[in-house]
Amino acid sequence: MHDPAIPFTRFLDPDGRPCAALPPCADDAELLERLYRQMVLTRLFDQKAVALQRTGRIGTFAQGLGQEAIGVALGAALRPDDVLVPYYRDTGVQLMRGARMEEVLLYWGGDERGSAFADPLAREDFPICVPIATQALHACGVAAAMRIRDQHRAVATTCGDGATSKGDFLEALNVAGAWQLPVVFIINNNQWAISVPRSLQCGAPTLAQKAVGAGIPGEQVDGNDVLAVYTRIQAALERARQGKGPTLIECLSYRLSDHTTADDASRYRPNEEVSAAWAREPIKRLQAFLASRGNWNEQREQDLIEHCQAQLQLAVERFERIGEPDPDQVFEHLYQRWPTPLAEQREQMRERVARRGGQAHE
C-alpha cells in the first residue's frame, strides 16, 4: 500500500485525532465547516439518487459513498478559472463547481441537458467521462492550451484505481511530464474496479509511483482525511498555476457502496472488509475533529441534515418539473454547421415521431 520513496500525508487518524503537525487550513474554521457540510450534502445526494434509481426515476447511478473527502477537497481547492476534467464518480466536486443537483439527476436520468451546465462557473469543465482514463488526456490538452496562451490556470483530472492500468493514463502522465503541463492527476483509489481488487490491478506497491517514470512528482494521501487531501491538492494546483509542472496524487480511500446501482458487490467482496472500512470513512473523521474543537454538536448535525434534505427535496422537484426533451435535439447539436445531407434523416426521424403520436417511444 505504501512505498518508502513515495510521500504519504495524513493529519487526522480515523477517529479524527491529529496524528501529525496540522496544516494551516486546520485552523480555518469556516473552510472546515464548508468541507464538512459539502461532504454531508454529497452523501445525502447520493442516497437520494440511489432511491430515485430504485424507484425508476433515474437510470444507473455511480455513487461515491465513503470517498466524499476527495471530491469536496478538490472542489474547495479549485479556483473558478481552473478547469475540471472529471470521471463518472465525481458528483461531490461537480456540485462545488456549479453543476446543479437537478442537472446531475438529469444526466443520470438519461438526458444530455444534464451536461449543459447553466452555471458559468462550470462553463469550461468537461462533462463526466465514461470511457476509462480517456479524460486524463483531455486534461492534458486543456493544460496544453493554457500553456500555449500563457495563462496561469490549472487543470484537475480524476480517475479511479482501475484507470491507472490504461494506456491513456500513462500517455497522459508521460506528456504532462515531457511538457511540464499545469495539470493535477487525482486518483480515487477506492480499492475496487468493479470486482477487481487493487492487488490484481497493478504490481507496484503504490499507484502514485507511476509518476516516477514520467518524471513528475507522485504522492499518496489518506483520501478519507479531508485535511490531507485538501492540503496536497491545493499545493499541487498552486504549483501548476505557477508553471512548476504536473503532480500525481493517489488518494487512498474505499468504495463502501456497489460500483453502480447496476452492481452487486456482495458477489465478489467480503462483508468484513466493508465493515472494517466503515471505521475509516471521512465524514465521521472530520466531525470528530470539529467536535473536539467545539465547532460541532448534535444540534448542528440535525440542523445540517434537515437543511440538506430540504435542498435535495427542492432539487428533485425541479428535476421532475423539467419537461421531456424535444426529439429534434438528437440532431440539433450533432454539428454546428448543419450538413444538408442529414436533412433527409431528420425528416425520417420526424416521421418516426409522428407515427408514435409525437412521442420518442412506441
Partner 1 sequence: MSDKTYSLVEAVNLALARAMADDENVVVLGEDVGVNGGVFRATLGLRERFGRKRVIDTPLAETMLGGLAVGMAAQGLKPVVEIQFMGFIYAAMEHLVSHASRLRNRTRGRLSCPLVMRTPMGAGIRAPEHHSESTEALFAHIPGLRVVVPSSPARAYGLLLAAIDDPDPVLFLEPTRLYRMNPQPLQDDGQRLPLDSCFTLREGQDLTLVSWGASVHETLQAAARLAEQGVEAEVIDVACLKPLDLDTLEASLRKTGRCVIVHEAPRSGGLGGEIAASLYERAWLDLRAPIQRVTAPDIPPPLYRLEQLYLPGVEDILAACETVLDYA
Cα–chain center distance at 295: 27
Residue 48 neighbours by CB under 8 Å, 6+ apart? 312, 316
Integer Cα distance of 53 and 124 in angstroms? 29
Question: Contact at 8 Å (CB) between 198 and 237?
Answer: no
Q: Is 323 in the site for partner 1 (CB under 8 A)?
A: no
Residue 121 to residue 101: CA distance in whole angstroms: 15
339: contact with partner 1 by CB under 8 A: yes
C-alpha to C-alpha distance for 201 and 256, rounded to whole angstroms: 19
Total residues belonging to the chain: 362
Using alpha carbons, list the distances in angstroms from residue 139 to 19, 92, 119, 157, 183: 34, 19, 21, 6, 7
Cβ proximity to partner 1: between 29 and 330 the closer is 330
Amino acid, single-letter form, for residue 325: P
End-to-end CA distance of the chain: 53
240 binds partner 1 (CB under 8 A): no
Question: Which of 46, 102, 161, 168 lies at the binding interface for partner 1 (CB under 8 A)?
Answer: 168
* Strands 155-160 and 183-189, sheet pairing: parallel
Q: Decide: is 115 part of the binding site for partner 1 (CB under 8 A).
A: yes
Work out which of 3, 7, 44, 134 binds partner 1, going by CB under 8 A. 134
Q: How far does CA 132 lie from the centroid of its chain?
A: 13
Nearer to partner 1, 146 or 256 (CB): 146
- Tell me, yes or no, if 123 is annotated catalytic: no
Which one of 204, 342, 354, 360 is in contact with partner 1 (CB under 8 A)? 342
Q: Where are the alpha helices (DSSP H) in 188-251?
A: 198-201, 226-241
| 251: enclosing H helix or E strand | strand 247-252
Cβ of residue 167: shortest distance to partner 1, in angstroms? Answer: 6
Q: Contact with partner 1 (CB under 8 A): which of 136, 233, 256, 315?
A: 136
Which window, 13-21, 54-62, 261-269, 341-349, contacts partner 1 (CB under 8 A)?
341-349
Cell reading at 295 = 465547532
In the set 43, 100, 255, 280, the catalytic residue is 255
**Considering only 9-17, 115-123, 262-270, 306-314, which stretch makes contact with partner 1 by CB under 8 A?**
115-123
Rounded Cα distance between 229 and 244, Å, is: 20
Residue 259 among the catalytic residues: yes
Q: Which is nearer to partner 1, 310 or 334 (CB)?
A: 334
Cβ 183 vs Cβ 155: under 8 Å: yes
Decide if 268 is catalytic. Answer: yes
Parallel, antiparallel, or unpaired for β 155-160 and 218-222? unpaired
- Work out whether 172 is an interface residue with partner 1 (CB under 8 A): yes
Least distance CB 23 / partner 1 (angstroms):
31
Binding mask 63-102 for partner 1 (x = CB under 8 A): --------------------x-x-----------------
* Active-site hit among 268, 293, 352, 355: 268
- Assigned C-alpha cell, 145: 492550451
248 lies in the binding site for partner 1 (CB under 8 A): no
Question: Residue from 272, 298, 344, 362 that binds partner 1 (CB under 8 A)?
Answer: 344
- DSSP-derived 3-state class of residue 60: coil
Q: Which of 22, 31, 121, 144 binds partner 1 (CB under 8 A)?
A: 144
Give the interface with partner 1 as residue ranges (CB under 8 A). Answer: 83, 85, 112-113, 115-117, 123-124, 126-127, 130-131, 134, 136-148, 167-168, 171-172, 174-175, 178, 329, 332-337, 339-342, 344
Q: Which residues are catalytic?
A: 255, 259, 268
